[in-house]
Amino acid sequence: MVALACAVVGVGAVSGAVAALGDKGGGTARPAPSPSPAVATLPAVPAPASVAPPPPRATPRAARPSTAPRPPATPSPARGAISAPLYRSPDSQVLDWVRAHPGDPRRPLIERRIADRPTAVWFTAYDPDAITREVRAVTSAAAAQGRVAVLVPYAIPGRDCGGASQGGAPDLAAYDRWMGNFAAGLGRSPVIVVLEPDAIAQSDCLTAGERTARFASLARAGRALHAADPRARVYFDAGHSGWRDAGEMAGLLRAAGAATSGDGIFTNVSNFHATADEAAYARRVLTALGGPARLGAVIDTSRNGRGAPPDGQWCDPAGRGLGRAPTTRTGEARIDAYLWVKLPGESDGCRGTAGSFAPDYAYDLAR
Protein backbone atom coordinates (compact mmCIF):
# COMPACT_ATOMS: atom_id res chain seq x y z
CA MET A 1 0.00 0.00 0.00
CA VAL A 2 1.35 3.40 -0.92
CA ALA A 3 2.12 5.54 2.11
CA LEU A 4 0.55 8.97 2.17
CA ALA A 5 2.30 12.23 2.86
CA CYS A 6 0.98 15.54 4.08
CA ALA A 7 0.79 18.96 2.57
CA VAL A 8 -0.55 22.06 4.24
CA VAL A 9 -3.49 23.35 2.22
CA GLY A 10 -6.32 25.80 2.57
CA VAL A 11 -4.33 28.84 3.60
CA GLY A 12 -6.69 31.06 1.67
CA ALA A 13 -9.06 30.13 4.42
CA VAL A 14 -6.67 29.64 7.44
CA SER A 15 -3.35 28.31 8.90
CA GLY A 16 -2.34 25.56 11.37
CA ALA A 17 -3.33 27.80 14.25
CA VAL A 18 -3.52 31.53 13.61
CA ALA A 19 -2.30 33.44 10.58
CA ALA A 20 -1.06 36.83 11.70
CA LEU A 21 -2.34 39.25 9.10
CA GLY A 22 -2.25 42.43 11.15
CA ASP A 23 -3.67 45.80 10.23
CA LYS A 24 -2.10 48.24 7.82
CA GLY A 25 -2.26 51.18 10.19
CA GLY A 26 0.16 52.38 12.79
CA GLY A 27 0.66 51.11 16.30
CA THR A 28 0.89 47.49 17.36
CA ALA A 29 -0.47 44.94 14.93
CA ARG A 30 -3.05 42.57 16.36
CA PRO A 31 -2.89 39.24 14.50
CA ALA A 32 -6.26 38.37 13.07
CA PRO A 33 -7.76 34.88 13.30
CA SER A 34 -7.27 32.94 10.10
CA PRO A 35 -8.12 29.38 9.08
CA SER A 36 -5.65 26.47 9.44
CA PRO A 37 -4.09 24.71 6.51
CA ALA A 38 -5.68 21.34 5.96
CA VAL A 39 -3.87 18.13 5.03
CA ALA A 40 -3.58 16.78 1.52
CA THR A 41 -2.40 13.36 0.37
CA LEU A 42 0.67 12.95 -1.77
CA PRO A 43 2.57 9.83 -2.87
CA ALA A 44 5.51 9.06 -0.62
CA VAL A 45 7.54 8.02 -3.65
CA PRO A 46 8.42 10.92 -6.00
CA ALA A 47 6.41 10.94 -9.22
CA PRO A 48 8.26 10.03 -12.44
CA ALA A 49 9.88 12.94 -14.19
CA SER A 50 7.48 12.61 -17.11
CA VAL A 51 4.47 13.39 -14.91
CA ALA A 52 4.03 17.16 -14.70
CA PRO A 53 2.67 18.45 -11.37
CA PRO A 54 0.21 21.32 -11.26
CA PRO A 55 2.15 24.55 -11.83
CA PRO A 56 2.70 26.72 -8.77
CA ARG A 57 1.18 30.18 -8.86
CA ALA A 58 4.58 31.74 -8.32
CA THR A 59 7.50 29.88 -9.93
CA PRO A 60 10.58 30.00 -7.71
CA ARG A 61 13.57 31.65 -9.30
CA ALA A 62 17.14 31.83 -8.15
CA ALA A 63 17.51 34.60 -5.64
CA ARG A 64 19.52 37.66 -6.60
CA PRO A 65 22.47 38.46 -4.35
CA SER A 66 21.30 40.29 -1.25
CA THR A 67 22.72 43.63 -0.25
CA ALA A 68 21.93 42.96 3.41
CA PRO A 69 24.79 42.11 5.78
CA ARG A 70 25.56 38.40 5.71
CA PRO A 71 24.77 36.67 9.02
CA PRO A 72 27.20 34.14 10.48
CA ALA A 73 27.49 30.86 8.54
CA THR A 74 26.48 28.75 11.54
CA PRO A 75 24.18 29.30 14.50
CA SER A 76 25.70 29.95 17.89
CA PRO A 77 26.68 26.73 19.68
CA ALA A 78 25.73 28.27 23.03
CA ARG A 79 21.95 27.85 22.67
CA GLY A 80 20.54 25.45 25.24
CA ALA A 81 17.22 23.73 25.63
CA ILE A 82 14.13 25.90 25.90
CA SER A 83 12.48 25.31 29.25
CA ALA A 84 10.05 28.24 29.51
CA PRO A 85 6.32 27.53 29.03
CA LEU A 86 4.83 27.97 25.58
CA TYR A 87 2.79 31.02 24.60
CA ARG A 88 -0.95 30.92 23.89
CA SER A 89 -2.05 33.63 21.48
CA PRO A 90 -5.27 35.42 22.52
CA ASP A 91 -6.34 35.53 18.87
CA SER A 92 -7.66 32.30 17.39
CA GLN A 93 -10.82 30.94 15.86
CA VAL A 94 -11.42 28.53 18.72
CA LEU A 95 -11.19 31.35 21.27
CA ASP A 96 -13.56 33.45 19.14
CA TRP A 97 -16.02 30.55 19.13
CA VAL A 98 -15.72 29.97 22.88
CA ARG A 99 -16.37 33.65 23.61
CA ALA A 100 -19.36 33.75 21.28
CA HIS A 101 -21.04 30.55 22.59
CA PRO A 102 -21.13 30.70 26.41
CA GLY A 103 -24.18 28.43 26.60
CA ASP A 104 -23.16 25.77 24.08
CA PRO A 105 -22.90 22.34 25.77
CA ARG A 106 -19.72 21.59 23.79
CA ARG A 107 -18.03 24.74 25.06
CA PRO A 108 -16.54 23.53 28.40
CA LEU A 109 -14.71 20.58 26.83
CA ILE A 110 -13.51 22.55 23.80
CA GLU A 111 -12.35 25.40 26.01
CA ARG A 112 -10.54 23.18 28.51
CA ARG A 113 -8.90 20.78 26.08
CA ILE A 114 -8.24 23.01 23.03
CA ALA A 115 -8.75 26.73 23.57
CA ASP A 116 -6.64 26.84 26.73
CA ARG A 117 -3.63 25.20 25.03
CA PRO A 118 -0.72 27.09 23.44
CA THR A 119 -0.63 26.78 19.67
CA ALA A 120 1.53 28.04 16.82
CA VAL A 121 0.99 31.39 15.13
CA TRP A 122 1.20 31.26 11.33
CA PHE A 123 2.31 34.08 9.05
CA THR A 124 1.01 33.38 5.56
CA ALA A 125 0.57 36.77 3.89
CA TYR A 126 3.37 38.19 1.78
CA ASP A 127 3.44 41.76 3.07
CA PRO A 128 7.07 42.80 3.63
CA ASP A 129 6.09 46.21 5.01
CA ALA A 130 3.91 44.71 7.75
CA ILE A 131 5.63 41.45 8.71
CA THR A 132 8.12 42.91 11.22
CA ARG A 133 5.30 44.61 13.14
CA GLU A 134 3.15 41.47 13.03
CA VAL A 135 5.91 39.21 14.34
CA ARG A 136 6.90 41.70 17.02
CA ALA A 137 3.31 41.86 18.27
CA VAL A 138 3.45 38.14 19.03
CA THR A 139 7.02 37.86 20.33
CA SER A 140 6.77 40.91 22.58
CA ALA A 141 3.53 39.63 24.10
CA ALA A 142 5.13 36.23 24.72
CA ALA A 143 8.26 37.79 26.21
CA ALA A 144 6.17 39.95 28.55
CA GLN A 145 4.65 36.74 29.95
CA GLY A 146 7.99 34.92 30.13
CA ARG A 147 6.72 32.45 27.54
CA VAL A 148 7.99 31.07 24.24
CA ALA A 149 6.08 31.80 21.03
CA VAL A 150 5.92 29.20 18.25
CA LEU A 151 6.01 30.95 14.87
CA VAL A 152 5.38 29.47 11.42
CA PRO A 153 6.62 31.53 8.46
CA TYR A 154 4.77 30.19 5.40
CA ALA A 155 5.51 32.32 2.35
CA ILE A 156 8.05 30.38 0.28
CA PRO A 157 7.44 30.89 -3.48
CA GLY A 158 5.51 28.01 -5.06
CA ARG A 159 4.37 26.68 -1.71
CA ASP A 160 2.16 23.59 -1.77
CA CYS A 161 3.30 22.80 -5.34
CA GLY A 162 0.39 24.74 -6.81
CA GLY A 163 -2.23 23.11 -4.57
CA ALA A 164 -4.86 24.76 -2.41
CA SER A 165 -2.23 26.74 -0.49
CA GLN A 166 -0.33 27.90 -3.54
CA GLY A 167 1.20 31.32 -3.43
CA GLY A 168 3.79 32.95 -1.24
CA ALA A 169 6.37 35.55 -2.17
CA PRO A 170 6.72 36.39 -5.87
CA ASP A 171 10.30 35.08 -6.05
CA LEU A 172 13.14 34.01 -3.81
CA ALA A 173 14.81 37.41 -3.74
CA ALA A 174 11.53 38.85 -2.43
CA TYR A 175 11.25 35.95 0.02
CA ASP A 176 14.74 36.66 1.35
CA ARG A 177 13.73 40.25 2.04
CA TRP A 178 10.48 39.13 3.69
CA MET A 179 12.38 36.69 5.90
CA GLY A 180 14.84 39.42 6.86
CA ASN A 181 11.91 41.58 7.93
CA PHE A 182 10.35 38.59 9.71
CA ALA A 183 13.59 38.05 11.64
CA ALA A 184 13.67 41.72 12.65
CA GLY A 185 10.51 41.18 14.69
CA LEU A 186 11.85 38.33 16.83
CA GLY A 187 13.40 40.35 19.63
CA ARG A 188 16.03 38.70 21.85
CA SER A 189 13.94 36.19 23.79
CA PRO A 190 13.62 32.44 23.18
CA VAL A 191 11.32 31.62 20.28
CA ILE A 192 10.61 28.48 18.23
CA VAL A 193 10.39 28.86 14.45
CA VAL A 194 8.80 26.05 12.40
CA LEU A 195 10.28 27.06 9.06
CA GLU A 196 8.06 26.58 6.00
CA PRO A 197 6.07 23.33 6.35
CA ASP A 198 6.37 21.11 3.23
CA ALA A 199 9.09 23.29 1.68
CA ILE A 200 11.62 20.44 1.75
CA ALA A 201 9.64 17.19 1.96
CA GLN A 202 7.29 18.37 -0.80
CA SER A 203 9.77 19.72 -3.32
CA ASP A 204 9.45 17.18 -6.15
CA CYS A 205 7.39 19.61 -8.22
CA LEU A 206 10.46 21.84 -8.61
CA THR A 207 13.18 21.42 -11.19
CA ALA A 208 16.64 20.55 -9.88
CA GLY A 209 17.68 24.18 -10.25
CA GLU A 210 14.58 25.50 -8.53
CA ARG A 211 15.04 23.04 -5.67
CA THR A 212 18.67 24.09 -5.22
CA ALA A 213 17.66 27.76 -5.18
CA ARG A 214 14.83 27.12 -2.68
CA PHE A 215 17.10 25.14 -0.36
CA ALA A 216 19.73 27.88 -0.46
CA SER A 217 17.06 30.42 0.47
CA LEU A 218 15.92 28.28 3.42
CA ALA A 219 19.52 28.09 4.64
CA ARG A 220 19.76 31.88 4.40
CA ALA A 221 16.51 32.16 6.34
CA GLY A 222 17.88 30.01 9.15
CA ARG A 223 21.02 32.14 9.39
CA ALA A 224 19.03 35.39 9.31
CA LEU A 225 16.76 34.22 12.13
CA HIS A 226 19.71 33.27 14.31
CA ALA A 227 21.56 36.49 13.54
CA ALA A 228 18.50 38.53 14.59
CA ASP A 229 17.81 36.48 17.74
CA PRO A 230 20.61 34.19 19.00
CA ARG A 231 18.07 32.53 21.31
CA ALA A 232 15.78 31.48 18.45
CA ARG A 233 15.41 27.78 17.72
CA VAL A 234 14.82 27.10 14.03
CA TYR A 235 13.49 23.77 12.78
CA PHE A 236 13.47 22.51 9.17
CA ASP A 237 10.80 20.42 7.42
CA ALA A 238 11.25 16.64 7.66
CA GLY A 239 7.77 15.55 6.53
CA HIS A 240 6.55 12.65 8.67
CA SER A 241 7.08 8.96 9.31
CA GLY A 242 4.63 7.87 6.60
CA TRP A 243 6.30 9.84 3.82
CA ARG A 244 9.99 9.66 2.87
CA ASP A 245 12.70 7.24 3.98
CA ALA A 246 14.80 8.72 6.78
CA GLY A 247 18.01 8.61 4.76
CA GLU A 248 16.41 10.28 1.75
CA MET A 249 14.86 12.95 3.96
CA ALA A 250 18.21 13.58 5.65
CA GLY A 251 19.84 14.14 2.27
CA LEU A 252 17.29 16.80 1.37
CA LEU A 253 17.65 18.45 4.78
CA ARG A 254 21.42 18.49 4.44
CA ALA A 255 21.09 20.19 1.06
CA ALA A 256 18.83 22.81 2.66
CA GLY A 257 21.35 23.62 5.38
CA ALA A 258 19.38 22.13 8.27
CA ALA A 259 22.53 20.86 9.98
CA THR A 260 24.42 24.17 9.72
CA SER A 261 21.69 26.84 9.67
CA GLY A 262 19.12 25.27 11.98
CA ASP A 263 18.58 23.64 15.34
CA GLY A 264 16.95 20.49 14.03
CA ILE A 265 13.82 19.27 12.28
CA PHE A 266 10.04 19.21 12.63
CA THR A 267 7.67 16.38 11.73
CA ASN A 268 3.97 15.53 11.41
CA VAL A 269 2.64 19.07 10.79
CA SER A 270 -1.12 18.82 10.15
CA ASN A 271 -0.90 15.03 10.19
CA PHE A 272 -1.94 12.16 12.43
CA HIS A 273 0.99 9.78 12.89
CA ALA A 274 1.56 8.53 16.43
CA THR A 275 4.07 10.35 18.60
CA ALA A 276 6.17 7.22 19.19
CA ASP A 277 6.44 6.63 15.44
CA GLU A 278 7.38 10.25 14.84
CA ALA A 279 9.99 10.29 17.60
CA ALA A 280 11.63 7.16 16.25
CA TYR A 281 11.54 8.54 12.71
CA ALA A 282 12.93 11.91 13.80
CA ARG A 283 15.87 10.24 15.54
CA ARG A 284 16.62 8.18 12.41
CA VAL A 285 16.57 11.34 10.30
CA LEU A 286 18.82 13.19 12.74
CA THR A 287 21.29 10.30 12.82
CA ALA A 288 21.43 10.21 9.03
CA LEU A 289 21.65 14.00 8.85
CA GLY A 290 24.73 14.22 11.05
CA GLY A 291 25.79 17.66 12.22
CA PRO A 292 26.10 18.87 15.80
CA ALA A 293 24.83 16.61 18.57
CA ARG A 294 22.63 19.50 19.80
CA LEU A 295 20.27 19.12 16.82
CA GLY A 296 16.82 17.97 17.91
CA ALA A 297 13.25 17.61 16.68
CA VAL A 298 9.80 18.99 17.40
CA ILE A 299 6.65 17.01 16.66
CA ASP A 300 3.14 18.26 15.86
CA THR A 301 0.91 16.32 18.27
CA SER A 302 -2.27 18.33 17.73
CA ARG A 303 -4.35 15.52 16.20
CA ASN A 304 -2.34 12.32 16.58
CA GLY A 305 -3.73 10.93 19.82
CA ARG A 306 -5.18 7.88 18.08
CA GLY A 307 -2.65 7.64 15.28
CA ALA A 308 -3.20 7.87 11.54
CA PRO A 309 -6.36 6.47 9.94
CA PRO A 310 -5.70 2.96 8.58
CA ASP A 311 -7.25 3.81 5.21
CA GLY A 312 -5.07 6.89 4.63
CA GLN A 313 -8.00 9.29 4.98
CA TRP A 314 -6.68 12.84 5.35
CA CYS A 315 -9.71 15.14 5.31
CA ASP A 316 -11.06 15.54 8.86
CA PRO A 317 -10.95 11.75 9.37
CA ALA A 318 -13.29 10.28 11.96
CA GLY A 319 -11.98 8.62 15.08
CA ARG A 320 -8.97 10.89 15.58
CA GLY A 321 -8.11 12.56 18.87
CA LEU A 322 -5.94 15.19 20.47
CA GLY A 323 -2.34 14.19 21.01
CA ARG A 324 0.05 15.09 23.80
CA ALA A 325 -0.30 18.57 25.20
CA PRO A 326 2.19 21.13 23.88
CA THR A 327 5.35 21.18 25.98
CA THR A 328 9.11 21.64 25.80
CA ARG A 329 9.60 18.95 28.45
CA THR A 330 9.21 15.70 26.52
CA GLY A 331 11.53 13.37 28.45
CA GLU A 332 12.56 11.92 25.07
CA ALA A 333 16.11 11.94 23.75
CA ARG A 334 16.56 14.52 20.95
CA ILE A 335 12.86 15.45 20.99
CA ASP A 336 12.84 19.12 21.97
CA ALA A 337 9.09 19.75 22.07
CA TYR A 338 5.62 18.51 21.33
CA LEU A 339 3.76 21.36 19.62
CA TRP A 340 0.27 22.05 18.34
CA VAL A 341 1.20 23.50 14.98
CA LYS A 342 -2.15 22.70 13.37
CA LEU A 343 -4.93 24.01 15.62
CA PRO A 344 -7.32 21.15 16.38
CA GLY A 345 -10.85 21.77 15.23
CA GLU A 346 -9.89 23.79 12.17
CA SER A 347 -11.23 21.80 9.23
CA ASP A 348 -9.35 20.23 6.35
CA GLY A 349 -12.42 20.94 4.21
CA CYS A 350 -14.82 18.07 4.99
CA ARG A 351 -16.33 19.02 8.36
CA GLY A 352 -16.43 22.67 7.31
CA THR A 353 -14.85 25.10 4.87
CA ALA A 354 -11.11 24.41 4.65
CA GLY A 355 -9.43 26.30 7.46
CA SER A 356 -12.60 27.26 9.29
CA PHE A 357 -13.25 26.26 12.89
CA ALA A 358 -15.72 23.35 13.07
CA PRO A 359 -17.02 22.93 16.64
CA ASP A 360 -18.39 19.42 16.05
CA TYR A 361 -14.98 18.32 14.76
CA ALA A 362 -13.21 20.00 17.68
CA TYR A 363 -15.58 18.34 20.13
CA ASP A 364 -14.97 14.91 18.58
CA LEU A 365 -11.19 15.39 18.81
CA ALA A 366 -11.44 16.53 22.42
CA ARG A 367 -13.59 13.65 23.70
Query: Is the separation of the CB atoms in 322 and 363 below 8 Å?
Result: no
What is d(CA 238, CA 249) in angstroms, rounded to the nearest whole number?
A: 6
Q: From the candidates 277, 300, 316, 348, which is the catalytic residue?
A: 348
In angstroms, the CA 349 to CA 94 distance is 16
- Given a contact cutoff of 8 angstroms between Cβ atoms, the answer to whether 124 and 160 are in contact is no
Q: Is 41 exposed, middle or buried (0-12, 13-18, 19+ CB in 10 A)?
A: middle
Q: End-to-end CA distance of the chain: give it in Å, rounded.
A: 31
Is 198 labeled as catalytic in the residue annotation? yes
Residue 364 a catalytic site member? no
From the list 91, 160, 171, 364, the catalytic residue is 160
H or E element in which residue 8 lies: strand 4-9
Specify whether 348 is catalytic. yes
Closest by CA to 347, choosing from 362, 326, 329, 333, is 362
Q: Which of 198, 237, 263, 364 is catalytic?
A: 198
Closest CA to 180 of 70, 29, 62, 19: 70
Integer CA distances (angstroms), 332 to 27, 276, 299, 305, in order: 42, 10, 11, 17
- Residue of 27, 152, 34, 15 whose CA lies nearest to 91: 34
Enzyme catalytic residues: 160, 198, 348
